[in-house]
């Protein structure tokens, strides 16, 4: 979640993804985390904490980036 919505700890996650892109690190998460990301986005949206644009793009960004990391062998 911290990757797609700016919150405390986002810079740590950004660093991990940057290292994964260069092959310095491998990322892992379970299928449950996919539902968690989508659920948190929905919850933030329901509370008015996300713009309609972010709610539209964040899930797509998550899927796109995850697919890229799989192709790179980093996820």
Exposed, middle or buried: residue 59 (CB in 10 Å: 0-12, 13-18, 19+)?
middle
Domain that holds residue 63: 10-72
Q: Is residue 4 part of a domain?
A: no
Q: Is residue 43 part of a domain?
A: yes
Beta strands in the chain (DSSP E): none
Q: Is residue 5 part of a domain?
A: no
Tens digit of pLDDT per residue, the chain (75 long)? 677 777 888 899 899 999 999 999 999 989 898 899 899 899 999 999 989 998 999 999 999 999 999 999 999
Q: Is residue 56 part of a domain?
A: yes
Quote the tokens at residue 34. Answer: 């996919």
Q: Total domain count for the chain? A: 1
Q: Is residue 26 part of a domain?
A: yes
Q: Is residue 3 part of a domain?
A: no
Model pTM score: 0.80
């Amino acid at each position: 979640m911290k990757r797609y919505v700016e919150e405390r700890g986002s810079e740590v996650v950004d660093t991990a993804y940057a290292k994964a892109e260069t092959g310095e690190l491998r990322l892992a998460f379970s299928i449950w985390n996919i539902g968690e990301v989508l659920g948190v986005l929905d919850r933030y949206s329901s509370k008015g904490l996300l713009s309609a644009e972010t709610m539209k793009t964040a899930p797509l960004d998550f899927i796109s980036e995850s697919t890229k990391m799989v192709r790179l062998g980093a996820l």
